[in-house]
Amino acid sequence: MSKTIYLDHSATTPLSAEAFEAMKPYWSDEFGNPSSLHHKGQQARSAVESARQRIADFLRADPKEIIFTSGGTEADNLAVFGTLNANKAKGNHIITSSIEHHAVLTTCQHLAKQGFEVTYVPVDKCGIVDVAELKKAIRKETILISVMHSNNEVGTLQPVAEIAQVAQSHGITFHTDAVQSLGKVKIDLSAPELQGVNLMSLSAHKIYGPKGIGILYIRKGTKITPVQYGGHHEFRRRAGTENVPGIIGFAKAIEIALADLEANSRKLSGLRDRLEKAVTSKIPDVQVNGHPTQRLPNILNASFKYVEGEGIILNLDSYGICVSSGSACTSESLEPSHVLSAMCIPPEVAHGSIRFSLGASNTEADMDFTADCLVKVIARLREMSPIAPKKTL
């Protein structure tokens, strides 16, 4: 196979050489358990606490507000279950959006079966959550609002500051999954407009850090109970021996991601626009999904009419190009993406949708090669498609 062109950075990213180097000692000599009183343990403790401090500084938060978890999924679960358990006396109603990541969405669906009331706020055709509908959904029993910072399938940025203010004015805990936004858009948790953000989920492996490490930011004063019990780790909010190498790697990955955030984002959006322009000008019957401006710099989601996403993925893979259809988690299901459905994209169009998610290794030549391969692949698939009108060949 030819050179790999990896365009699936929203699914995961390669570990950076710097993060890998930083982690190395903690797989070998620096193996101590941070809870041990002896010097091996205390060395690990001080490495973990220094990483926590640096991460808190990057996010403009307090180190005590940074809780390490096993990833974004666990952070989302802890946010939702932890808030519900801590606020049982107040009510049983959750507000979320119809385009959340499965880590929030299926958690809410599970809770609905357990007797909780869940309102899924709709989005407009660009994938932006309807804040007026969200406000209308608030009841006196509402104990949690969870709306993602940016969407992982189409890249739409959500009006998080506005929702945070609504939540705060009603005294409701607000959680946002910012896994896709970290390192791409600025996040300053000390900003006045974000004071209503009580909980925020982050994950290392989407920003060139290691897999299996995440963060739940818990703003001081937020009522939350643990989900996992055991020792007194993570300020008694998440029991379990710390993933020391993971934490060190996460701190390094955040440092690198934030150091060049603006330049990287500009580079990525330039490449994304180049790909978008080539694809929409060279291929007929293509539609770009998402918001034209309120979006992450690195995601292009496009629907190729009359063909199936699966076919496109496998054909592009034969050229060494890695893309996905919506979220990695839906790659084995035949249901159209819940995000595209919520954006009122008809199922037959949603079925031909591909997410191109760009990252550090990509070049202009990669974009041009991908567009050229797509021209061939789409033409070939449409030739075989019984529903493609012959004029589009």
Ligand X SMILES: *Cc1c(COP(=O)(O)O)cnc(C)c1O
For ligand X, which residue has the nearest CB? 72
Question: Could you tell me which stretch among 72-80, 160-168, 297-305, 334-342 binds ligand X (CB under 6 A)?
Answer: 72-80
Tokens encoding 255: 């440092």
Q: Which residues 74-93 are close enough to bind ligand X by CB under 6 A?
A: 76
- Distance between CA atoms of residues 22 and 212, nearest Å: 16
Whether 329 is catalytic is yes
Q: How far is the CB of 11 from ligand X (least distance, A)?
A: 7
Q: Which residues 352-371 are close enough to bind ligand X by CB under 6 A?
A: none
Specify the residue, 278 or 328, whose C-beta has the smaller distance to ligand X.
328
Q: What letter would DSSP give residue 15?
A: P
- Work out whether 152 is an interface residue with ligand X (CB under 6 A): yes
What is the H or E stretch that residue 120 is in? strand 117-121
- Work out whether 290 is an interface residue with ligand X (CB under 6 A): no
Question: Could you tell me which stretch among 203-211, 270-278, 299-307, 378-386 binds ligand X (CB under 6 A)?
Answer: 203-211
- Work out whether 226 is an interface residue with ligand X (CB under 6 A): no
DSSP per residue over 162-195, as a string? HHHHHHHHTT-EEEEE-TTTTTTS---TTSGGGT
Strands 173-177 and 199-203: parallel
Tokens encoding 44: 């690990």
**Measuring CA to CA, how many Å separate 142 from each of 80, 148, 261?**
13, 18, 36
> Residues 9, 101, 184, 355: which binds ligand X (CB under 6 A)?
101
Question: Could you tell me which stretch among 70-78, 261-269, 289-297, 369-377 binds ligand X (CB under 6 A)?
Answer: 70-78
Specify the residue, 65 or 177, whose C-beta has the smaller distance to ligand X.
177
Closest Cα partner for 153 from 377, 345, 24? Answer: 345
Instruction: Give the burial class of 364: count Cβ atoms within 10 A of its Cβ; 0-12 exposed, 13-18 middle, 19 or more buried.
Output: exposed
- Distance between CA atoms of residues 368 and 171, nearest Å: 50
The catalytic position among 108, 126, 322, 329 is: 329
- Work out whether 96 is an interface residue with ligand X (CB under 6 A): no
- Distance between CA atoms of residues 5 and 358, nearest Å: 10
* Dihedral in degrees, nearest 10, Cα atoms 20, 26, 27, 30: 150
Tokens encoding 92: 């049983």
Q: Which residues 114-143 are close enough to bind ligand X by CB under 6 A?
A: none
- Work out whether 69 is an interface residue with ligand X (CB under 6 A): no
Q: Which residues 171-200 are close enough to bind ligand X by CB under 6 A?
A: 177, 179-180
> Residues 184, 206, 291, 382: which binds ligand X (CB under 6 A)?
206
The residues of the shown chain that bind ligand X, judged by CB under 6 A, are 71-73, 76, 101, 103, 148, 152, 177, 179-180, 203, 205-206, 214
Looking at the annotation, which residues are catalytic? 329
